[in-house]
């Protein structure tokens, strides 16, 4: 028997890719870019390519409040400077107040030794900057592409694509959104609750300048936020019960401006103009686990949270940083990056942190829904005390910043 031919025939072949990322939104694209820059052979599969971003186009209605941890990651990926210079609105202050009790709390970057608390940036701008950067680091982009199934083996995971092709990788990363078909294929359940609310979004011009401040008012119907855009306008995120959201969407522009002025307590004066409006449903959703065989969840596929704290994308980008660091450490130790014990470390750390944050945001939403006079009064006292306890307030701000 020819032993050399036997060695060749039985030798394991390395999979075509180290990592396959499915989902090319902000979090998925950031994951593909981070892993490729770390030296992993990476493929990104996405059903629809993003629309090219243009400075001449109207500001995207969907915006994200990027925390310092997210900015640090984007800067490490060499995309933050182009995003900031293109169109980003910074904020150095945050004012949050309770419509029922009148209690308020303020956060200020300077008092925490920082220049900014964060930046308000269009989702489409962040995604486009990441997609452009993918071309420079050799990410194998498959678009349009859809995964119909996958099967984990001892040394790889095999993806079956809708066009009949297959792709082998050491690890499959599902970043395909809150409805995540891949999560369902992996048999991972979720828990949470539907808030029976929609977030109405628009960009508005106001009588007074936003003062580089994120303004948020808590009302019985839900929170209303006015977030500073780079062009002087404010981005509105107004959480309302389903029926109220539909009613507000149906108002003519002048009626909408008048009603928004009242709802915002005229904190920025009269609302002078608005863009078109849109709305999206709100829910709390947490995956029961973040891993399966050679498979992990990332971003909204793992967790969807209430937007009142503006932390959804920031949690997803922290997932990205944790996964990259976990895989880099595993490779340095000579371990299989798709091994269960490697992925367990990522899953344990991020699920614990994400769950703590998600349930914290949910508790905040529940607390501000209290209507009993006694509970409202207690809530007001608590907010006032928190505003005066500088060390605790600083810890909360640093946690939100991911520091």
How do the domains of the chain map onto residue ranges? 17-401
Neighbouring CB atoms inside 10 A of 2's CB total 8
By the 8 A CB rule, do 369 and 99 touch? no
Which CATH number, 3.40.50.12160, 3.50.50.60, 3.60.15.10, 3.40.50.2300, labels domain 17-401?
Answer: 3.50.50.60
Can you give the pLDDT at residue 143? 93
pTM of the model: 0.89
Joined tokens for residue 142: 């498959």
Q: What is the mean pLDDT of the chain?
A: 89
By the 8 A CB rule, do 240 and 222 touch? yes
Cα atoms found within 13 Å of the Cα of residue 33, Cβ hemisphere only: 26
| Res. 230: pLDDT tops 50 | yes
Strand locations in 101-185 (E)? 104-108, 118-122, 140-142, 147-152, 157-161, 166-174
pLDDT mean over 119-129? 96
**What confidence tens digit (pLDDT) does each residue in 212-227 have?**
999 999 888 889 999 9
Say how far apart CA 216 and CA 401 lie, in whole Å.
17
106 band by pLDDT with thresholds 50, 70 and 90: confident
More confident residue, 248 or 12: 248
Dihedrals φ, ψ of 129, to 5°?
Answer: -60, -40
| Res. 156: pLDDT tops 70 | yes
Can you give the pLDDT at residue 98? 86
Q: Of 57, 62, 61, nearest to 26 (Cα)?
A: 62
H or E stretch at 19: strand 17-22
What helix, strand, coil percent values describe the chain, rounded to 5? Answer: 40, 30, 30
pLDDT mean over 200-208? 97
Say how far apart CA 399 and CA 311 lie, in whole Å.
11
By the 8 A CB rule, do 295 and 172 touch? yes
Can you give the pLDDT at residue 257? 97
Task: Give one word for 402, left, alpha or beta, with left for phi > 0 and alpha for psi -120 to 50.
Answer: left
**What confidence tens digit (pLDDT) does each residue in 61-100 have?**
999 999 999 999 999 999 999 999 999 999 999 998 888 7
More confident residue, 130 or 392: 130
pLDDT mean over 8-37? 83
**What confidence tens digit (pLDDT) does each residue in 331-352 have?**
999 999 999 999 999 999 999 9
**What confidence tens digit (pLDDT) does each residue in 113-123 have?**
888 999 999 99
By the 8 A CB rule, do 40 and 257 touch? no
Can you give the pLDDT at residue 309? 59
């Amino acid at each position: 028997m020819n032993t050399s031919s036997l060695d060749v025939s039985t030798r394991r072949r390395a999979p075509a890719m180290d990592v396959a990322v499915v989902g090319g939104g902000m979090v998925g694209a950031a994951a593909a870019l981070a892993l490729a820059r770390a030296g992993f052979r990476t493929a990104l599969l996405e059903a629809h390519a993003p629309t090219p971003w243009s400075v001449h186009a109207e500001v995207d209605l969907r915006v994200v409040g990027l925390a310092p941890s997210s900015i640090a990651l984007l800067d490490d990926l060499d995309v933050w400077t182009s995003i900031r210079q293109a169109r980003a609105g910074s904020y150095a202050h945050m004012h949050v107040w309770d419509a029922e009790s009148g209690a308020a709390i303020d956060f200020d970057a300077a008092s925490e030794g920082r220049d900014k608390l964060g930046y308000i940036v269009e989702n489409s701008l962040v995604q486009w900057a990441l997609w452009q950067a993918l071309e420079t680091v050799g990410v194998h982009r498959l678009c349009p592409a859809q995964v119909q199934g996958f099967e984990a083996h001892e040394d790889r995971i095999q993806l079956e694509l809708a066009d009949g092709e297959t792709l082998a990788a050491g690890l499959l990363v599902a970043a395909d959104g809150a409805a995540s078909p891949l999560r369902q294929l992996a048999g991972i359940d979720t828990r949470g609750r539907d808030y029976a609310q929609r977030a109405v979004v628009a960009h508005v011009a106001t009588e007074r300048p936003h003062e580089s401040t994120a303004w948020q008012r808590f009302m019985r119907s839900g929170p209303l936020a006015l977030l500073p855009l780079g062009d002087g306008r404010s981005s509105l995120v107004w959480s309302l019960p389903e029926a109220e959201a539909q009613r507000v969407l149906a108002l003519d522009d002048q009626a909408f401006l008048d009603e928004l002025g009242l709802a915002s307590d005229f904190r920025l004066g009269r609302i002078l103009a608005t863009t078109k409006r849109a709305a999206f449903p709100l829910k709390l959703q947490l995956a029961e686990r973040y891993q399966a065989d050679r498979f992990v969840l990332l971003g909204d596929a793992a967790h969807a949270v209430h937007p009142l704290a503006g932390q959804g994308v920031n949690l997803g980008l922290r997932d990205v940083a944790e996964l990259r660091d976990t895989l880099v450490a595993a490779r340095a130790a000579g371990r299989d990056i798709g091994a269960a014990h490697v992925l367990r470390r990522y899953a344990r750390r991020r699920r614990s942190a994400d769950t703590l944050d998600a349930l914290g945001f949910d508790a905040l939403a529940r607390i501000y829904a209290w209507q009993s006079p006694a509970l409202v009064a207690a809530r007001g006292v608590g907010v006032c005390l928190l505003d005066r306890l500088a060390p605790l307030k600083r810890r909360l701000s640093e946690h939100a910043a991911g520091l």
